[in-house]
Structure 1
Amino acid sequence: MTLLYRLLIRACLPLVFIYLWLRGRKAPAYRLRWRERLALQTIPANARQGLLIHCVSVGETVAAREFIEQVLARYPQLPVTLSSMTPTASELAQTLFADHVHHLYLPVDTPGAMRRFFDKLAPRVVVVLETEVWPGFLQQAQLHKVPVLLLNARMSEKSQQTYLKYSWLTGPIWQQLTWVAAQNHTSAERFMHLGVASDRIAVRGNLKFDSHVPVDLLARATALKQQLQRPIVLAASTHQGEDELVLKAFTELLDNVPNALLILVPRHPERFAAVAEKVAGKGLSYVRRSAAESPEANNQVWLGDTMGELVFWYAAADVAFVGGSLIKRGGHNPLEPIATHTPVVSGPHVFNFQEIYQRLDGVGGVRWAADADELALQWLDLLNDANLRFTMQRAAVSEFAQDQGATAAMLSDLHQHMMHQVPTCNNVTGSTATELPSMKKVTTLKPQGNVEIWYDGEHFDDFSDDYFTADYWRRQDKIKGSATGRSTAWFIAAGEQGMLLRHYYRGGLVGKVNKDRFAREAIANSRAMAEFELLMRLRERQLPVPKPLAARYEKAPVWGYRADILVEIIPQAEDLFKLLGQRQLTAQQWREVGGVIRQFHDAGVYHSDLNCHNIMLDAAGKVWLVDFDKCGFRDAGEWQQANLARLLRSLHKEAAKAKEAKRDFHWQKERDWPLLTKGYQGKS
């Protein structure tokens, strides 16, 4: 992303909202949810750390439906978020997937908005459908180390030339893609010409070839045909300037087929009212689908002014005209009417789907109309000739019968990248995966305007802010002990294993004047929430850490915030410091300690305070690590040896303090440290 692009996108920001306001005159939904356009909204905790799928508009959402449903089935433990740019795509996503996904708008591509977007959502992997890439979006994905997969990707010659022309402005965006699954070889070659490396791209086909029409939808369409008992022609996804041509063709058709019914489905919902006026202006009687009205014998037009029903209309029609083709819009995808076995008529302008239409034309699977008169004639020929309709249906279906499999191929591509982000995806799928720790199971609670709480919705039937105060548990006679260090942590007898309540305090010289306030930051990045989420991810990797139960962020008056966390107690476990005060560890136990530290390091986990107080052994000898405040993931480097050195210093420090206080501390570097090191190196 170039400096000029960053300046330009910021300068254009007011124009974006002016556009949304003006568009809202016809489609009021464009005037809603503006905070999302700048990523200023609150994103719930149970949408974090999941998979983001971006479908810019309705077409991409429809094409990806089967793929998204397969993703939801394959990764039930992960949150899935769908983003889009238009209200119609938002409405369709909510209609198709309900509460199985979280939906939001992709924000405007300013650096600040995209940074907030990735900080709040924290996706593991991003999937972009077709060709919707933005420089700021890709830069933030790269900074957050999030792989971006461009799936079902297509690139027209016109789009390629546009990207090449403005590459000086956008920068090397194509090189930032992790993987590209192209629809065909032509698109793949164009992507490589733009800069995608050949080892990061493959031809996978078109997701729409895998479209499966639900049996219940076909049954409803058949029932509608039987109910109406009249010839039905469909004009789907029509644009401004095209509706008039369609209505002219239909009035000509009525001269020969007076009982014909036109189902007219405009492409954009903000045009529904205007198209209804055009129908009335032609003297045609109509009903609107949105009014739940069915056409009577005297109605000639049924206005399809709802969302998400286009496949149903295709299935109900005897013949379909695919819009955007009588005018120079490039046409729309004909694969949906092919899936419903509906004969296709198209205008000449189909450059958006040139290859598909060429194949259809080659086998006689499409009829062409250059204007309204020819459209009327094509409709008439097809309505009058059932054998012709059947021949076209069979030819179109047969031509693309061998092209299925794109969904499976792209799911495999996704899985290869998910394996690196979600290790449990290697060997856990289906119902077993739902039992894994996941942010999807976390509930967000806001008891007051200055407080946000995350808690495990499976562990607690309900939750109260009082759970973070020791006095509450003391009144319940639930406090069973405490641990002291920089501050007191309370052991609470609640649940099967009990809980540990810890308040976050400042250390060092700062702590003498500022006991427990931290500089304000994004809630997800705050001390308690960050540790809660990190523990979730570590348990997902099956690393031995305590189970996080709840975390609280409380905005302090005037400045800063305070934080608390609840974690499950590790049963019958004692820390290394306490054990060494009682007895010497066995050689096997030292090797186990070293081996577990290596497990964390191999997973890229940096423990900022690896010392003998934060390593625990339970009654069975299992080694655990605790207290992950200010910890996180890092690439392999010198920090791993520095981590071990920190542990060694802590052992030396405690041994010296014990000697000075004349108490036992069973630690000898020459005897014990080589054993730990052998365990770390995997040696027996």
Structure 2
Amino acid sequence: MTFSYRLLIRLATPLVFIYLWLRGAKAAEYRQRWRERLALHALPAQARDGIVIHCVSVGETIAGRALIEAVLAAYPKLPVTLTSMTPTAAAIAQRFFGERVFHSYLPIDTPGAMKRFFRKLAPRMVVVLETEVWPCFVAEANRRGIPLLVVNARMSERSQHGYQRYAWLLGPVWQQLSFVAAQTAESEQRFRQLGVAPQQLAVRGNLKHDIQLAATLPQQANDWRQALQRPVLVAASTHDGEDEQVLSAFQTVLKVHPQALLILVPRHPERFTAVAQLIENAQLSYIRRSDNKPVTTTHQVFLADTMGELMLWYAIADGAFIGGSLIERGGHNPLEPIATETPIATGPHVFNFEQLFTRLKHVDGVALVNSAEALATTWSQWLTEPDTARAMALRAQHEFADDRGATKAILADIQRFLPSVEMTEQHRTMAMMTTVQPHKKSMIWYDPELLKECPVEYFSPSYWQAQGKVKGSATGRSTAFFIDQGDHDLLLRHYYRGGLVGKFNRDRFKREPIAESRAMAEFSLLLKLRELGLPVPRPVAAYYAQAPGWGYRADILVEVIPHTQDLFKLLQQRELTPAEWDTIGQAIRELHNANVYHSDLNCRNIMLDSAGKCWIVDFDKCDIRESGSWKEANLQRLLRSFNKELTKATNSESEFHFNEARDWPLLIAAYQR
């Protein structure tokens, strides 16, 4: 990402909103949800820490349907967020997946918008379908260490030349991708020439070969055919400049097959009304799908002005024309009508799917037309000679019969970058948490498996004291309270400032996004660490509240680990055994192997339970980061804490059973092993 790109995208942002407003004149949805275009909207906490899948528009959403279903099945406890650029894709996502996914528009590719987007979702992985690669988007994922995979990726020769021409503007966008699953060997080679490393490239085929027809589709199509009892042709994904040619061709067909019905499916919803006017101008009787009225014998054209039903129209039809090809748009994917065994006609401009159409031409699996007259001739022949049309459709289907498997291969790629953790019933993720907003300027997250409700009072020690539930307290920088909550003893901790600042500002922190505030950050981190099987306490609830005037205050409730003592208290009583030092060293190694940085690893934050298991607690200001020298710094901080307590005990003539020469090598030996 270059300075020039960052400047230009900022300057272009107002133009994007002008464009959305203008498109909104024909499709009102483009004038809605504008805050999402800058990532200024609120996203539910349950969408955090999951997987983001970007499908720019309808075609990518349909193509990715089987893959998205596979991801949902492979990661049942992780949230999945689908992003897109168009309202139609948003509608399709809702129709296909409903409440099983979250949906958001991908924001305009400014640095600020992308920072907000990633900050709010904090995804573990981003998957982009086809080639929707934006420099700030890629750079932000790369900066945060989030794997970004581009799958079902295609790269035409024309697109490659365009990217090469503007490489000075885009910067090293291709080199920052984690992995590219190309559709074809030709696309793979073009990605390599753009700078994607060979080890980050593979040919996986086309997801659309794995199209799964809905179980109800054959019966739906048969019901329609039985009701219509007439020849049916479909013109799918047509663009401005094609509809007139399609209608002209159909008028010619009607001279030979007067009972024929044309299902006309414009590519963009904002054109529905304009296309309806073209049908009227052609003096053809028509009905719109949105009218929700039956098609009668008097109707010659059926205007399919709804979304997500194209597969049904293909399944009904005796023949199909694929739009975007009589004009220089590049055509559309032929694999959907192939899946429904529908004969295909296309214009000459199919450079977006050149290889697919080359294969179809080779086996005579597609009819090539370059004018309205040629389309009329083809359609008429199919209706006159249905066996010829069916033979063409079967040749097309046979050509791609062995091309399935992209979904399975790409899912394996995803799992390689994000291994599926074998989650038990005890594992909990943000998708399972409940969020409530008790006041306008406060937020509570809690685990409904542990608490039926979580009022603000639960974060007040005086509330529990009044209930007689406080069992004890622990002191450090501040007091933490042990609370008797039936089956789950809880630890309530308020966040205080330390150091010199803490002397005049006890507990206010500079305001930041709620999800990144002290309590919420620790809460979500503990969930992730437990998912990884690390020995940390279970988070129960977290509270954020804006303080009057400036800053915020925070509290957290965690589950008490039963029958434990911290090392500080144990060493006041006795020496630790070699086996116990071994257990401690292994626990720290386990934490570091997962690249977990503990900001305050000291003898008070390491505990041993009655069974000899080591636990690590207090993950305030901790995170998962790239491996580095901080691991050794963590160990040295722990050693300093032992020696500090030893010095204090010596000065006060009390006991602290730690000997660096004797004990520390035992811990380090276990850590290094």
What residue in structure 2 maps to residue 368 of structure 1? 368
Q: Partner residue of 1:422?
A: none
Q: Does 1:612 align with 2:612?
A: no
Mapped to 1, the partners of 2:309 and 2:466 lie a distance apart of 58
Q: Distance in 1 between matches of 2:409 and 2:634?
A: 42
Question: What is the distance in 1 between the residues matched to 2:93 and 2:451?
Answer: 31
Match of 2:212 in 1: 212
The question of whether the paired residues in 1 share the 8 Å contact of 2:49 and 2:79 is answered with: yes
- Residue aligning to 1:288: 288
What's the counterpart of residue 485 of structure 2?
A: 494
Alignment of 1:466-485 (within 5 A): 466-485=457-476
Structure 1 stretch 114-123 or stretch 476-485: which is displaced more?
476-485
Cα separation, 2, equivalents of 1:196 and 1:676 = 44
Q: For residues 12 and 248 of structure 1, what CA distance do their matches in structure 2 show?
A: 40
Give distance in 2, aligned partners of 1:622 and 1:229.
74
Contact 1:497 1:571 in 2 (8 A): no
- 1:572 maps to which residue? 563
Instruction: Give the match for residue 540 of structure 1.
Output: 531
| CA displacement at 1:662 relative to structure 2 | 3.1
Answer with 455-464 or 58-67: which moved more.
455-464
Deviations 1:418-438 (A, max 9, x none): 13xxxxx26x2xxx5675321
Aligned counterpart, 1:252: 252
Q: How many Å separate the matches in 2 of 1:541 and 1:156?
A: 41
Structure 1 residue matching 2:542: 3-state secondary structure: strand
Superimposed CA distance per residue, residues 617-648 of structure 1 (whole angstroms, 9 cap, x where no aligned partner) = 11111100000111112333322222122112
Per the alignment, in what secondary structure is the counterpart of residue 150 of structure 2?
A: strand
Alignment of 1:208-607 (within 5 A): 208-419=208-419, 425=420, 428=422, 432=423, 436-607=427-598
**Greater CA drift, 536-545 or 292-301:** 292-301
Classify 1:434/1:236 alpha carbon distance in 2 versus 1 (closer, same or farther; 3 Å): farther
Partner residue of 2:646 out of 652, 655, 658:
655
Is the Cα contact below 8 Å between 2:450 and 2:488 reproduced in 1? no
1:586 CA drift (Å): 1.6
- Matches of 2:11 and 2:628, distance apart in 1: 41
Asked whether 1:643 is paired with 2:649, we answer no
Q: Alpha-carbon deviation of 1:217?
A: 1.3
Counterpart residue number, 1:179: 179
Verify: 1:632 aligned to 2:623, yes or no.
Answer: yes
- What SS is found at the alignment partner of 1:516? coil
Q: Give the conservation status (yes or no) of the 8 Å contact 2:490–2:557.
A: yes
1:21 aligns with 2:50: no
Structure 1 residue ranges without an equivalent (≥5):
420-424
Shift of 1:339: 0.2
Distance in 1, matches of 2:663 and 2:498, equals: 30
Query: Gaps (5+ residues) in structure 2?
Result: none
Which deviates more, 492-501 or 67-76? 492-501
1:482 shift after superposition: 1.5
Distance 2:203 2:628 in 1: 37
**Aligned partners of 1:76 and 1:434 also within 8 Å:** no
- Kindly provide the CA deviation profile for residues 296-349 of structure 1, in whole angstroms up to 9, marking residues without a partner as x: 121111111111111111111111111111111111111000000111111121
After TM superposition, the structure 1 stretch with the greater mean CA deviation from structure 2, 405-414 or 474-483, is 474-483
Partner AA of 1:641 in structure 2: E
The offset of 1:599, in angstroms, is: 1.1
| Per-residue deviation, 1:283 | 2.1
SS in 1 for 2:332: coil
Rounded to whole Å, the distance in 2 between the matches of 1:71 and 1:19 is 34
Confirm or deny: 8 A CA contact 2:43 2:121 kept in the other structure: yes
1:112 is aligned to 112
**1:179 offset after TM fit, Å?**
0.8
Q: TM-score, normalised by structure 1?
A: 0.96
> How far, CA to CA, are the matches of 1:640 and 1:326 in structure 2?
62
CA distance in 1, matches of 2:426, 2:338: 41
2:276/2:303 contact within 8 Å kept: yes
CA distance in 1, matches of 2:492, 2:297: 72
Matched to 2:653, the amino acid is: K
Q: 1:360, 1:399 within 8 Å by CA — same for their partners in 2?
A: yes
TM-score w.r.t. length of structure 2: 0.98
1:435-490 residue CA offsets vs partner (Å, 9 max, x unmatched): 53212112222121111222223333333222211222233332222112211111
1:42 deviates by 1.4
- Equivalent-residue separation in structure 2 for 1:435 and 1:483 (angstroms): 27
User: For the residues of structure 2 that align with 1:290 and 1:435, how far apart are their CA atoms?
Assistant: 48
What are the equivalent positions in structure 2 for 1:128-139 lying under 5 Å apart? 128-139=128-139
The SS at the match of 1:490 is strand
**Between 663-672 and 547-556, the greater mean CA deviation after superposition:** 663-672
> How far has the Cα of 1:497 moved from its partner?
2.4
Q: Secondary structure at the match of 2:402?
A: helix
In structure 1, give the amino acid aligned to 2:436.
Answer: L
4+ long deviations beyond 6 Å: none
2:127 equivalent in structure 1: 127
Q: Please, what is the CA RMSD of the aligned residues?
A: 1.4
Letter in 2 for 1:241: G
Structure 2 counterpart SS, 1:213: coil
Counterpart-to-counterpart distance in 1, 2:537 and 2:137:
35
SS at match of 1:544: coil
Task: Give 1:47 shift.
Answer: 1.0
Aligned with 2:216: secondary structure?
helix
Of 452-461 and 400-409, more deviation after overlay is shown by: 452-461
Name the CA distance, whole Å, in 1 between partners of 2:352 and 2:668: 62
